[in-house]
Structure formats: structure tokens, C-alpha cells
Amino acid sequence: MYLSVRVTIATLVVLLLLTLSLTQLSPSKDKTSASQAALKITYKPIHSPDDIEALTPPLIKPVAYTRVSTLATLEAGTKKQKFFDMILPAVLISKQRLEDKRGRLAKIETMATRDTDSELWLQQQFKRYKAKDINQLKVKLADHPTSIILAQAALETGWGTSRFFLEGNNIFGIWSFNPREPRMRASQTREGKPIYVKRYGSLIEAVDDYFVIIARGGPYREFREARIQTNDPLELIKHLHYYSEIGDEYISRLRSLINRNKMIRFDSYQLQTADAI
């Protein structure tokens, strides 16, 4: 009887230790992985403006459009609303990706010793964003108000009517200097040489690349530093004069677009996750 009890207790202890061991070995679901799992992106092409899903503020459905259609034939008010409906989900998805990266970076900072995967990921981010250390990467991984991005998108695409946008999902007029990447030739030249702009597989890709350009570009250093200090879009746009050749006029146009179209309202919009459906 006594021996049987001892065997039973020993068995329970072994099982308890085994359970604790498995728990420690299992990967924990941190904030980053949880947010990625909860976000289910719907990919779809636009054949006509009717294919664009209407926004449902303040929680926006994560839709990734892979092909766009002209809005030129629509009445002005309808055209603008359709443009917001089309572009905003891509902006919010891209901003969520940046937030996930910031979350992973914060976790890496707490590690006494980095594991191989974390170190590899960190080196990849250093290279992608041209950062020398973690502090510099933090600045480059920051984002800025949605209203600024939408205003730039409206200005660069002519409210969704430009050829670069319609043929290449190029929202921000981003140039291409690599003949091996998908791109298209512009009608104008620069000092007698052809100009090319990038083609993207979806609107999300275009916004992702926009954030990389802002993060890496020397002319945007002042803007990157300013967005760490303030979230006021009308203050931040003052530091975007290098984004366009028209300089201060570009800032004036952005300010006008943001104010006239009440774009600041979009700064509080968030993505609809699976948990919120």
C-alpha cells in the first residue's frame, strides 16, 4: 500500500515536470504574432468603381486591391469617396506591418542574448532601412498620420486618374532606377534620359515601399525627426518640401487637400481584425 502511494506521487511529479517543460518550449504568442494572426487580408482586383468596398469607420476592413480602375468619370464628391475607400485599407495594413516590426524590435531589445532568428531579422531590417543600430532603426520604423499619406496619394495620382496609378498601382510617383524590377517608362525625360517609375503588385506594396523611401531617403531626415516629436499633420508636412520639385508649393497643396477634404478624420481609423468581426 505504501509503495503504491509512493509510485503514484512519483508519477504525478514526473508528469508535472514534463508539462512545465513543454510549456517553456512552446513559442509564446506575443503581440506581434497575435496581431498578424488576427488580420486576414482579402486580395481582389477592381474592374470598375463598383468593385470598391465602402469604408465602415472607424474599423476598416483589410482589403488589398491588386488592380485599380479609373475614377475619372465619377462626379467629384463620389470620386473622392471612392478614392478614400480604395486607398485607406492599404495604408492601414502597411502601418500595421510597421507596428508589428516595432513590437518585435522592442522584444529583441529585452533579450539578454539574441537567438539566431532574431539576429537575422534585425540584420535584415538594418539593411532594408539603412539603419546602423537599433536606435536609428526605431526612428526609421516610425510612421506618421494617415491624413498626410492620403493627401500625398491624392496629389500624386490626381485622385486616382494618373497612368502610373492605373497601370502600375504606383500611388506616390516613385521612380525606378533598377532595370531588373517591374517598372514603366514615363512620357517625360530628365536631361535627355528616360524616366521610369515602379510597378507594384498591389496597393499595399506601393504603400510599403513609400514607407521605405521615407525611412531611407536623406532628404526626409528632417521629416523623420519631426514625426518623433509630433503627430500634427499640418506641422509635419512642413518638412516634406523635398518630396517634390515644386517645394513649398507642394506643402501648400497638401495643406489645402487635408483641410478642404477633412482628412484628419482618417487619423483615428483602425483596421478591423478577425476578433472585431
Q: pLDDT for 226-257, tens place per residue?
A: 999 999 999 999 999 999 999 999 999 999 99
Q: How many CB atoms lie within 10 A of CB 195?
A: 14
Segments of the chain with pLDDT less than 70: 1-38, 274-277
Q: What percentage of the chain reaches a pLDDT higher than 90?
A: 82
State phi, psi for 198 to the nearest 5 degrees: -75, 150
Q: pLDDT for 174-222, tens place per residue?
A: 999 999 999 999 988 888 899 999 999 999 999 999 999 999 999 999 9
Q: What is the DSSP string of 108-133?
A: HHT-SS--HHHHHHHHHHHHHHT-SS
Supply the CATH classification number for the domain 34-276: 1.10.530.10
Q: What is the pTM of this model?
A: 0.85
Q: How far apart are CA 28 and CA 23, in angstroms?
A: 9
pLDDT at 11: 52
Q: Where are the domains of the chain?
A: 34-276
pLDDT at 188: 86
- The grid coordinates of residue 260 equal 478642404
pLDDT at 13: 45
pLDDT at 7: 43
Q: How far apart are CA 188 and CA 274, in angstroms?
A: 45
> 139: part of which helix (H) or strand (E)?
helix 134-140
